[in-house]
Structure 1
Amino acid sequence: MALALLVGSGVAAAAPDPGSTPSPDPNAAPSSRPAAGPEKERQAGHRPESGKNPQAGPSFKQKDGVWQVDSTETVLRNTVTDKDNDKANLTFEVYTTDADGKPKTQVKLNDSEYGVLVSDYVPSGERAQVTVPVGKLKPGVTYTFHTSAYDGGLYETEWSPWANFRIRDRAVDIKLPEPDKDAPTLNQDTYQERQLIRQPSAFPVPPSEPPIGYSASDGWSCGRLNEKTGIQPCSRLVPDDSKKTRDALRNGARGTKAELPHLVDWCEGLGSSYIKRFEACIAGFKYEYHGIVIKDGRPTGETLYAAWAVGQEVKLSGTSPTFKQQLTLVPLEIDKDFGSVTLNVEFDCLLSDRCSSGQQSWDGALVWTSANPWSHTAVGTTDHTWNAADKADTLDLSTKITAYAPVTNPAASRWITDDAQVRCDKIFSTTKPGCTFHKYIPTWTFHTKKFPVAAAHAWLIQAKLPNHPGSETHKKPMFYLPKATSNVHGRNPQKNRDVICPKVSGNAWAKAKGHPETTLLTDISSGDVRSCDEFAYAATYNSGGMPKSMDGLNEVASGDACLQTYSKRAKQGEWHLYDDDREAAPTFKEVCGRSTMSNWMNTQSMQSFPSEFSQKYRLLDKDPYWVDTPGFEHCDATKATVKCTVPRP
């Protein structure tokens, strides 16, 4: 996908063919270069004549007297008349122009002696036209042409008036390096950044008593008043990203200098909660246990206070229904009047008929005394096993802590982290049952160094088009479409591809209609051919081929409605992704992209997608994911034309 190259608004001249002969005198008689046939000196009758209004297109519109042409596959036309009503044709001769717009150097339009194009014969008074082959004219260049008529025996004595025309500038030109075929496969794990999630939601644990002097809306869950001591126990979970709490979860209980164990190595010192596809670090909160001193049914204002920094870590497996979780409890304060506080912890996955929990194992007692409140940290672990149902289940991991002391009754709080909901499935026939944090959105990262053209195409469509498929910046994820037996609509992703890259007269679209100047990588793959690359991918709901009736987001009637590009090697070590110069410039309002590129480049860039991404991260129907294209961060897609060099020069 290439960044657009705009040649400036000034006149640009095309370089002559290095193998061409010197340009003829453009004003010499047409019979001096009889490309249409021999002049018959004694031919009776009138000479045919070119029209006085030669035209160039598409779209056959003028600006300041210059025809504005949308395509290098330019159509040139003019009328031709013959007073004898003979059929006649026209010879079309094209030149580059100088700074004044005058003819400069002849452009060889074919390999014939004269380098001109000759139209078919047409009846007198009608238009004759030719189409210039691809590659003969260049974008952003002003040319001029004239015509001469021939009726099979006689040429007209003078050429038609000159008509200047300018080929549109490129809208896209992304300059790229040579593909590094030996670059190792990317490890997609290294590109999965942690995702910030909402903090846990706490719930009261019945039976709970109304708090005396406290508010349930503040999260307090309270137990029964101890009639002997006059103390009501209450507990809650409190968000806390303070340095004190972070340090406690990094260093353990004050003064112990313990090295805390971790299920997930990136959890240390976090002040908020995060997930990856298989890992969760739930932190930035504390568990509080209060004893409210009551006298004559009213609080005295005296409160006993205890608190623990809480760190929860969960590690799933993509290839097993069994996963582990760990809870770290670091004391922050124990009021001396409690004497001691004991905690009871219960782990649950809230789907008892399909999820079983193992025994808890604790490193450190769950009892803290007022005499030595920072004596130790308690770290508990357990595992859970999903009992492999037919398809998929979601599990909500729940943790309940009950606290009590010699002078108080129990009070309990339970929490669930909604954004860390676990999904286990047995859908992939090629993999074992496994579990993911399905609300984590993974990122598919292009191997720009190895497949620069494919990455450029993805970047262009994602960055420039209004629907931004797969863009995390624009919050527009891709939505995965698995095989027909695994999606709700029974849609085969190949049918999406067939819309964007259809067969044409039995041939692949790229072979039949792809840009003929597309460079192949036969030095890497000897059998390389032109290939059609679509973006967004066929295996997504973002694909232009996915019907709206099946929740498709960007349905188009055919790939002709997509932004069209192709790739070309300008010289060894320098590639470009260009917009297709055979068509009008893209509007950048398209919702899909179709690019002609090397088949090796196209197919190999996605070869590892199943094993390293969709299966590895257990993507199911409609799962979102991002697409990232490293190396294009400095490219600017906001301008009218897209032009960039990768890597940054």
Structure 2
Amino acid sequence: MGTAALMLLSAGGVAGAAPAVQPDPNAAPPKVHGPEKTTFAAAAGARPASGKTPKAAPLSRNAAPGGFQRVNSQKVQLTNTVTDPDGDKANLTFEVWTADAAGKPVTKVKLNDSAYGVIVSPYVASGGTAKVDVPAGKLALNTNYVFRTNAYDGSLYETVWSPWAKFRVELPVDLTLPTPNYASPNPNHFDAQKPHYYQTKPLGQAGTPLSARSTSAAKDAVEQCSKPDADGRQVCFGKSTPAPKGKAPHASERTGAAAATAGVEWCNTNFESILATRFIQCDVRTVPVIIRMDGVPQAVANFMFLRMLELDGQNTFTEHLTIEPAQQIPPAFREINFVGWNHLCETACTPQEQPVTAWKGKPWWVPGEMHSATLTTPFSWDTSLAGTDYRFKPDIQIDANILPADGKIRPFKTGYQWSLDYDGGTEDLDRIRCDTPAADAPAGSVPGCVFVNVAPTYTFNAKAFPQAAAHAWLIQKATPKHPGSMVDQKPLYYMGDESQNNRSRARICPTGWAANNGDASALVDAGDTLNCDEFAFASSYNSGGMSSTEGGINPAIPPGKTTPSGDACISMYAKKHGSMIHLFSQNGADPTFNEVCGRAAISGMHNQESMGGHFANFMKQMRIKDKDAYWLDTRMDDGGTCRYGVGGGQPVICELVAQ
């Protein structure tokens, strides 16, 4: 072998031209350095040997299925030990093949442009570990590989290969993103609000998101009864309980109810429910009217009570009350007549009581009838004081005369009060917060009201800005805090302190992090720059950058540290891979998916346009204040494509679709 060739190999290079070798996993190891030395001393020496446990690195803490080593970086290093009985230094030749699921070699991978397509390590001392770095782009993600080694001590070759080692290059996060459609319009905030039954109070107020009809420490509903007469007979409005409806009233009989809830299709008397958006609350109950004798029910007539509260003005809101039988009135009753009503509200709130003539449909029923009756009542509130918040809980008392069919006694009179018939967990869903602008509020600010315990939903434009939406989707789906997820009942809480916002962001995304960890292939155009996108948002109490002493609820504290840092988040970057943009975990990172936050180096355009003015409009329209809860709909979906599932500490490898 020539001196120049020896110098090349000693530097970890690959031999030059050699006879072509047909890819054959059973072929003898190639003599990439040229012929063995034929001197007496060389021939008398012992041959070097590869170790029996080749390894790929950096290894993930979790093995891939089938016994494949899982490598969590696209910067792959292959290693094996090498020994020489003579104590000579030696190197290793590394050969890589694709493999099937069982680890059987399929196709040889050309690791360089040489005839052999192998990589030779630098020389190491006997007993040491030889290492080579696979050139970028030679190995594909999510593909099975095997590799093996063969030793050379400068004179003699090892005559056999080492055992095969199986490995896969699988980044813990590999999300294939849809192609952006920058013409996709931003979602309309009002249209995006779907009614739901989660009672979600502002941070720090008693109460957590609970489903309707759940059990809780809230006060239970009670029966509301008249006093028994001398014969032990009384009438009651029973507790609202689910009851099957009978034949629905004819359309002509329900004109009043339909008109009262026009445009709010989800508010109807088809079934018992309690649903709300930020501006409309609809409570539908099945309420039994009961005649009892000595406490024993003698006759029952089930009614559907519907109350829709509509926050439809700057200094007003409206109640629509609908009453209709759930089944035909039984013959045990002669008449059920709602004869009085009284609305209640706190100071600064004034109900405008309506006369009996204001009912649409007569508010009394005889056996066999099933018509609807509706009463609309406006409320007004005082807007004269600037910068003032009010809490209102509108209530109604309804009196009724109930006459048994025997007619032997006078009608019984009893009352029903709405607030006494809540099932636990929804008793404050109709709590209204009304506020007036401060004296120094921006021009155009107006008074208004919201249902303060109903969290609105902010919706990403995932079709236009998939990089930001995919990042939030991952943290929402794959980490235990699920920030902003309505399904997991984990709301985001707005934090309005700008200085704290800046502190939280700087801890998660220090200056230069995106430039040092991002990839320019993710940028939209020449004017775009890499941004660090943090989630949960820095403008939320959920931010990983906000310590518990500052009021944060999910501080990201690295082991051995006391200050929140992005180092405790899942770190990612967007990169073009093939023809698609992917969101990858940082090379070599091995997240546990128990992290409370994420940060990603992505397109600045995607980061800023996914929020910016769009979020500012949402805040204004939904009248979001400090500590108010809201949900985040990322508008991303995996379509069932995820490998290993989402969560559980396993990699998240998915092809996402924007909705």
CA distance in 2, matches of 1:590, 1:530: 23
My pick for the range that moved more, 445-454 or 129-138, is 129-138
* Conserved? CA contact 2:554–2:596, under 8 Å: no
> Structure 2 residue aligned with 1:576, among 574, 582, 598?
582
Cα distance, 1:200 vs structure 2:
13
The AA in structure 1 aligned to 2:528 is D
* Conserved? CA contact 2:329–2:367, under 8 Å: no
* Conserved? CA contact 1:423–1:435, under 8 Å: yes
Q: Which residue of structure 2 aligns with residue 624 of structure 1?
A: 629
Count the aligned residue pairs.
549
> Structure 1 residue aligned with 2:472, among 454, 458, 466?
458
Cα distance, 1:347 vs structure 2:
1.7
Matches within 5 A, 1:240-639: 241-242=242-243, 244=245, 247-248=248-249, 252=253, 260-262=259-261, 265-266=264-265, 267-272=267-272, 273-286=274-287, 288=289, 309-317=304-312, 320-330=314-324, 333=329, 341-349=337-345, 351-352=346-347, 354-360=348-354, 362-364=358-360, 368=364, 377-385=373-381, 387=383, 390-404=387-401, 407-408=410-411, 410-416=413-419, 418=427, 419-426=429-436, 429=441, 431-473=445-487, 475-484=488-497, 492-503=500-511, 507=512, 509-514=513-518, 516=519, 518-522=521-525, 526-549=526-549, 550-557=551-558, 558-572=565-579, 574-580=580-586, 582-607=587-612, 609-628=614-633, 629-636=635-642, 637-638=645-646
My pick for the range that moved more, 71-80 or 601-610, is 71-80
* Conserved? CA contact 2:50–2:151, under 8 Å: no
* Conserved? CA contact 1:238–1:288, under 8 Å: no
The AA in structure 2 aligned to 1:472 is M
The AA in structure 2 aligned to 1:346 is N
Cα distance, 1:563 vs structure 2:
2.0
Report the CA distance shift for 1:445/1:369 in structure 2 as closer, same or farther (over 3 A): closer
Cα distance, 1:178 vs structure 2:
1.0
Name the structure where strand makes up a greater proportion of residues.
Answer: 1
Identity %: 25
Report the CA distance shift for 1:433/1:556 in structure 2 as closer, same or farther (over 3 A): farther
CA distance in 2, matches of 1:67, 1:367: 75
CA distance in 1, matches of 2:214, 2:50: 80
Report the CA distance shift for 1:160/1:493 in structure 2 as closer, same or farther (over 3 A): farther
* Conserved? CA contact 2:320–2:376, under 8 Å: yes
Partner of 1:285, secondary structure, is strand
* Conserved? CA contact 1:90–1:118, under 8 Å: no
Report the CA distance shift for 1:251/1:134 in structure 2 as closer, same or farther (over 3 A): farther
Report the CA distance shift for 1:626/1:304 in structure 2 as closer, same or farther (over 3 A): closer
Q: Which residue of structure 2 aligns with residue 213 of structure 1?
A: none
CA distance in 1, matches of 2:56, 2:301: 86
Cα distance, 1:410 vs structure 2:
4.5
* Conserved? CA contact 2:333–2:402, under 8 Å: no
The AA in structure 1 aligned to 2:380 is H
The AA in structure 2 aligned to 1:221 is C
Partner of 2:248, secondary structure, is helix
Cα distance, 1:531 vs structure 2:
1.9
Q: Which residue of structure 1 aligns with residue 194 of structure 2?
A: 193
CA distance in 2, matches of 1:372, 1:169: 70
Query: Normalised by the size of structure 2, how large is the TM-score?
Result: 0.66
The RMSD of aligned alpha carbons is 5.4
Q: Which residue of structure 2 aligns with residue 39 of structure 1?
A: none
The AA in structure 2 aligned to 1:470 is G
Cα distance, 1:556 vs structure 2:
2.8
CA distance in 2, matches of 1:537, 1:23: 57
* Conserved? CA contact 1:78–1:129, under 8 Å: yes
CA distance in 2, matches of 1:259, 1:367: 16
1:187-230 CA distance string (max 9 Å, x none): 243443322364799xxxxxxxxxxxxxx9961332596x9xx8
Q: Which residue of structure 2 aligns with residue 180 of structure 1?
A: 181
Higher RCO (CA-CA < 8 Å; seq separation 6+): 1
Query: Normalised by the size of structure 1, how large is the TM-score?
Result: 0.67
CA distance in 2, matches of 1:447, 1:360: 45
* Conserved? CA contact 1:59–1:68, under 8 Å: yes
Is residue 647 of structure 2 the alignment partner of residue 641 of structure 1? no
* Conserved? CA contact 2:505–2:538, under 8 Å: yes
Segments of 5+ residues of structure 2 without an aligned counterpart are 1-13, 20-29, 35-47, 83-88, 198-210, 404-409, 559-564
1:246-286 CA distance string (max 9 Å, x none): 83597647xx8985432652212332222122111111223
CA distance in 1, matches of 2:235, 2:573: 68
CA distance in 2, matches of 1:52, 1:372: 94
Matches within 5 A, 1:156-235: 168-196=169-197, 198=212, 219-222=223-226, 234-235=235-236
